[in-house]
Structure 1
Amino acid sequence: MKTETLAKFACAYSGMVWGLFWIPIRSLDQAGIGGLWATFFFYTLPFALCLPILLVRWRPTVAGGLWLQLLGFMAALSLVAYSVSILYTDVVRATLLFYLTPLWSTLLARIFLGEPITLLRWVAMAVALLGMLVIFRADAGIPLPERPGDWIALGSGFLWSVAAILLRADKESAAIDLVVQNFIWSAVVAAALLLFLGPDPSTSPPLAVYLAQLPWLVPTILIVVMTGVFASMWGTPKLNPGLVGLLFMTEISVGAITAALWSGDPFGWREAIGIILISVAGMMESLWELWRRRGAAVQLR
């Protein structure tokens, strides 16, 4: 299998992982760890798990210098900002505004990397956005930014687009080092938000409440979250940033399905049609390339 094809699967898988993100966050909230406390706790665990890797790979980390730190920081800032946006606005509004990323990424890749914007890419973006609007019932009105959380969600999507451009331009950093720096900076950003915007420290749940979550949260972080971030850090540099944005929209499909299965959210014809449209948009360029190759093979016979 070609590296580019594997990278597409990796980015789609990463999007699926973030579509499951609401489950551990909601579980923490139900356990009594809510708001910025949950965000901080969620990102502190992978930070601790990455420290042994950092000790082993300190030489590549030093060699990566400020550039490696910038890559980790931008990716972390985007993901933590998206997590926080859900605290200050509706999940629907946050998701819609974040997933303008294919548009930002495509335009930024054209401006800074000189990558062409094909007609097929425009069509794929239009189909994906249509699917998203169908799922989120935009016929009732498109949620323009109004609340603080709306602007944070919009900004987090743009920040991820910038991170995708930087990762695309990166030629040296190993995916494992990018993962480590992402989680280190995620914990730092989450801690800073808790320090400056969080509630009084006296409102923190007791230590016993945090410890009680470790038996299920540590495996979830290791098996799901960390593999999803690794997939994004490995696959993103190998693909056009606009295509990465489209592939990451699998988050919307997985989020809609899992929310219907486990939280009783509605799932009907709107959700089914929207998921189909988003899936078609993500596969459109790959299917077109496959069709071209088969046509070329037939001509050579």
Structure 2
Amino acid sequence: MNPRLQNTLPTLAIMLGASVWGLVWYPMRMLAALGLSGTAASATTSAAACLFVLVLRRHAIRSISWHWLLVALALAAGVTNIGFVWGAIHGQVMRVLLLFYLTPAWTALFAHFILHERLTKPGVALAALSLAGAMTMLWSPELGVPLPANLAEWAGLMGGMGFAMSNVLIVKISRVLPGMKAEMRTATIFGGAALVATFATLFESMPTPPAASQMGMVVFIVIGLGVVLASNNILVQVGLAKVPANRASIIMLFELVVTALSAWLFAGEVPGPREWAGGACIVVACVLSSWVHRLKEPREEPRDEPAEPLKAPAGKKKSTRAMV
């Protein structure tokens, strides 16, 4: 394969994945309009995605080693999924997504307690920058308090915390269970999202159920969305395996561009000046966070020991986002 093409394809895979995540809110709103609540839509599409992964990669099931970390990952993925889906259905998509992207702040905090990573000054500064962006976006002259204005924005905020926790737990699992295949982590994430969303349906008032004439369309969207999301997740993992983590995290911000355009075209939602200013702070914090992460990567120090043949460092497990 042409070397230039070989380097371009992984980047395109990640950009395609980001594009899918930036558009997925629209079919979710279609399901809501057809009579499927946000929690029910999240549960059914996640179950379809989990089943698709298990059937497609059933040979990888043998790599499962049950551990309490898998339960924690399933719960964190469930919070991520239900927070994004419910928030995107009931709120302004761009504001919900920007609150979702407050990951530098939550990741620094969770990594300190779970991965025992030291809180550095750059990490604290980037967390403060992302939180400042959120406060800029959420400040209201009427309320005077920079807090989410409605339940949808609170859901986006909680979803972002769940996303940061999922990323930290995936790193932890890669260390504790190095033999687990990526497909099984994906199945765990989607399975957890399906279970948490199913439980959440008990606390959400159900709208008028889909009419019998619309059930075919509902089933088609649910199954199609599940297959697309599962395939997209696997595709992105292929890209993440060949692209440096710091570069991949910047490429993933393409989702914000796709979301902004789709929200404008399909829902007529146009961010205001405060949303642009706050969003810029959050995006800059994400970009600088990946840059700081690159600088912190350990380097081999020379030692006064007999020379040994150099070995290629083991590849890092990359975080996988299960969206919806």
* Alpha-carbon contact 2:84-2:159 (below 8 Å) kept: yes
Give the Cα–Cα distance (whole angstroms) in 2 for the partners of residues 263 and 142 of structure 1.
27
Q: Deviations over 1:183-223 (max 9, x none)?
A: 122222222222x224469x421454232245555444433
Give the Cα–Cα distance (whole angstroms) in 2 for the partners of residues 230 and 199 of structure 1.
36
2:145 is equivalent to residue 111 of structure 1: no
Structure 2 SS opposite 1:158: helix
Give the Cα–Cα distance (whole angstroms) in 1 for the partners of residues 234 and 184 of structure 2.
11
Structure 2 SS opposite 1:170: helix
Task: Indicate the structure with greater helix content.
Answer: 1
Worse-superposed segment, 20-29 or 222-231: 222-231
Question: In structure 2, which of residues 17, 23, 28 is the aligned counterpart of residue 20 of structure 1?
Answer: 23
Give the Cα–Cα distance (whole angstroms) in 2 for the partners of residues 8 and 108 of structure 1.
28
Q: Deviations over 1:2-29 (max 9, x none)?
A: xxxx999988875554332311112223
* Alpha-carbon contact 2:138-2:146 (below 8 Å) kept: no
* Alpha-carbon contact 1:176-1:230 (below 8 Å) kept: no
Q: Deviations over 1:60-90 (max 9, x none)?
A: 23x3444434323322233223323456666
One-letter amino acid of the structure 2 residue matched with residue 190 of structure 1: A
2:163 is equivalent to residue 160 of structure 1: yes
Residue of structure 2 in register with 1:297 after alignment = none
Give the Cα–Cα distance (whole angstroms) in 1 for the partners of residues 224 and 212 of structure 2.
19
2:227 is equivalent to residue 222 of structure 1: yes
* Alpha-carbon contact 2:39-2:82 (below 8 Å) kept: no
Superposed displacement of residue 59, structure 1 = 1.5
Give the Cα–Cα distance (whole angstroms) in 1 for the partners of residues 61 and 196 of structure 2.
22
Tell me the TM-score normalized by structure 1: 0.68
2:263 is equivalent to residue 259 of structure 1: yes
Residue of structure 1 in register with 2:32 after alignment = 29
Residue of structure 1 in register with 2:72 after alignment = 70
Give the Cα–Cα distance (whole angstroms) in 2 for the partners of residues 229 and 164 of structure 1.
16
Give the Cα–Cα distance (whole angstroms) in 1 for the partners of residues 11 and 126 of structure 2.
15
Give the Cα–Cα distance (whole angstroms) in 1 for the partners of residues 76 and 292 of structure 2.
32
Residue of structure 2 in register with 1:295 after alignment = none
Superposed displacement of residue 152, structure 1 = 4.3
Give the Cα–Cα distance (whole angstroms) in 1 for the partners of residues 218 and 69 of structure 2.
35
* Alpha-carbon contact 1:53-1:180 (below 8 Å) kept: no
Residue of structure 2 in register with 1:185 after alignment = 192
Superposed displacement of residue 178, structure 1 = 0.8
Superposed displacement of residue 179, structure 1 = 0.8
* Alpha-carbon contact 2:61-2:184 (below 8 Å) kept: no
Cα RMSD between the aligned structures?
4.5
Structure 2 SS opposite 1:57: helix
Q: How many residues align?
A: 281
Are residues 290 and 157 of structure 1, via their aligned partners in 2, closer, same or farther at CA, if it must alter by over 3 Å? closer
Q: Deviations over 1:110-151 (max 9, x none)?
A: 2332334455445544555566666x4746555415755555
Give the Cα–Cα distance (whole angstroms) in 1 for the partners of residues 119 and 210 of structure 2.
50
Superposed displacement of residue 176, structure 1 = 0.8
Superposed displacement of residue 162, structure 1 = 2.4
2:47 is equivalent to residue 44 of structure 1: yes
One-letter amino acid of the structure 2 residue matched with residue 283 of structure 1: V
Unaligned 5+ runs, structure 2 = 4-8, 296-324
Are residues 190 and 234 of structure 1, via their aligned partners in 2, closer, same or farther at CA, if it must alter by over 3 Å? farther
* Alpha-carbon contact 1:175-1:234 (below 8 Å) kept: no
Q: Deviations over 1:20-62 (max 9, x none)?
A: 231111222333434433333332321332341464333223x
Are residues 249 and 159 of structure 1, via their aligned partners in 2, closer, same or farther at CA, if it must alter by over 3 Å? same
Structure 1 SS opposite 2:105: helix
Are residues 150 and 284 of structure 1, via their aligned partners in 2, closer, same or farther at CA, if it must alter by over 3 Å? closer
Superposed displacement of residue 109, structure 1 = 1.4
Are residues 129 and 235 of structure 1, via their aligned partners in 2, closer, same or farther at CA, if it must alter by over 3 Å? farther
* Alpha-carbon contact 2:101-2:282 (below 8 Å) kept: no
* Alpha-carbon contact 1:102-1:125 (below 8 Å) kept: yes
Give the Cα–Cα distance (whole angstroms) in 2 for the partners of residues 31 and 146 of structure 1.
27
Match runs of 1:118-137 below 5 Å? 118-125=120-127, 128=130, 136=137
Q: What's the % identity of the aligned pairs?
A: 24
Give the Cα–Cα distance (whole angstroms) in 1 for the partners of residues 156 and 271 of structure 2.
24
Are residues 76 and 10 of structure 1, via their aligned partners in 2, closer, same or farther at CA, if it must alter by over 3 Å? farther
2:181 is equivalent to residue 174 of structure 1: yes
